[in-house]
Amino acid sequence: MKKIILVLLIISLNAGNAYSEFPEIKSGREDDLHSRFSDVMSKLTDDFKWIITSPARLEKSDIPQCAKFAGTLGLLMVLDEGIQNVFPDKGSGAILDGLFSVTGELGNGFVAVPLAGALYLAGQGLKDKKLSKIGTMGLESYIFTGILTVGMKVVLGRSRPEKNAGAWKYNLFTLDVGEMSFPSAHTSTAFSLASVIAGQYNIWVDVSVYTLAGLTALSRIYHNKHWASDVFAGAVLGILVGRAVVHLNSSEKSKKLALMPYFVPEERLYGVKLVAWKQ
């Protein structure tokens, strides 16, 4: 939650002064800081509303997919403790320890946010608009996925495997991190970013990003932080949010939002900022 608040603070404090720094953005008029911040928040709010109201737009043709998800999730919840018992534990070997230590961090917000900024910056340097847009969508997807994931964690309060309280221990409406197992935030973050990137280039890129996301999910079980059903739910949530963000940014209205890196050497300030403009 602190990481999401940090991102929103960056957005709030740095919504202005983008036009002179990035002349490629063509604005119909320059608004004051408050107006530009309002545009950014309006865009994010509209997109988030569209995502959380998606269930209301389900059609009969979606029922089989929903049933498959519910059935798989239910089965995994029944098998959670058995899977945890047979799954390799941390310390099982230097190779697994090293692999899952690295991939486990890919779902960390302190990695995901800089990665989104780096993609945007690389796109600007290479004059690759697609890559820059992926960076913007990655940040938006991170915010939305984080809000939904943390919300469910707090409401459900499922005990983590490392607490040794069993897979069926729930403490509803809790702020105890040890009771926030469902769903996996690292997994939802990794899969949301993978879903933003997937489909943009070729099959090999798709396989690579989803493989990394999958390893992130497995690392959470390996480190005894999550049950198998936690990472499954996190993966599905991340994919759905990532695809939704791509869909929402495929229209002309996506031109109202951009991710901008900034650096002020004399003040040792650096980061990313999300800005909006009117056409």
Q: Is the pLDDT of residue 43 over 60?
A: yes
SS3 content of the chain, % helix, strand, coil (to 5): 70, 5, 25
Give the CA-trace dihedral at 80, 85, 91, 95, to 10 degrees: -70
Domain boundaries, given as residue ranges, for the chain: 2-276
Backbone phi and psi for residue 152, each to the nearest 5 degrees, phi listed first: -70, -35
Q: Is 65 helix (H, G, I), strand (E, B) or coil?
A: helix
For residue 147, what are its two tokens? 């809000």
Which residue did the predictor score with more confidence, 274 or 190?
190
Q: Is the pLDDT of residue 169 over 70?
A: yes
Q: Is the pLDDT of residue 131 over 90?
A: yes
Question: Per-residue pLDDT averaged across 136-143, rounded?
Answer: 95
**H/E element holding 249?**
none
Q: What is the rounded CA–CA span in Å between residue 158 and residue 144?
A: 21
% residues pLDDT > 90 (the chain): 68
Q: Is 272 helix (H, G, I), strand (E, B) or coil?
A: strand
Q: Is the pLDDT of residue 150 over 60?
A: yes
Residues in CB range of 121: below 8 A, 6 or more apart: 135, 261
Q: What is the rounded CA–CA span in Å between residue 115 and residue 148?
A: 21
Which residue did the predictor score with more confidence, 242 or 3?
242
Q: Is the pLDDT of residue 54 over 70?
A: yes
Of the candidates 142, 145, 150, which has an alpha carbon nearest to the alpha carbon of residue 111? 142
Residue 158 is given by DSSP the state B
Assign domain 2-276 one CATH number from 3.40.50, 2.30.30, 1.20.144, 1.10.3470: 1.20.144
Of the candidates 247, 117, 238, which has an alpha carbon nearest to the alpha carbon of residue 184? 238
Q: pLDDT tens digit string along 240-256? A: 999 999 999 986 444 44
37 — pLDDT class (breaks 50, 70, 90): confident
Q: pLDDT tens digit string along 190-218? A: 999 999 999 899 999 999 999 999 999 99
Q: pLDDT tens digit string along 69-120? A: 999 999 999 999 999 998 887 777 888 899 999 999 999 999 999 999 999 9
Given the structure tokens 């690579």, which residue do they identify?
Answer: 208
The per-residue pLDDT for 265 is: 59
The per-residue pLDDT for 41 is: 85
Give the CA-trace dihedral at 232, 236, 237, 238, to 10 degrees: 100
Question: Per-residue pLDDT averaged across 173-193, rounded?
Answer: 96
Q: Is the pLDDT of residue 40 over 60?
A: yes
The per-residue pLDDT for 39 is: 79
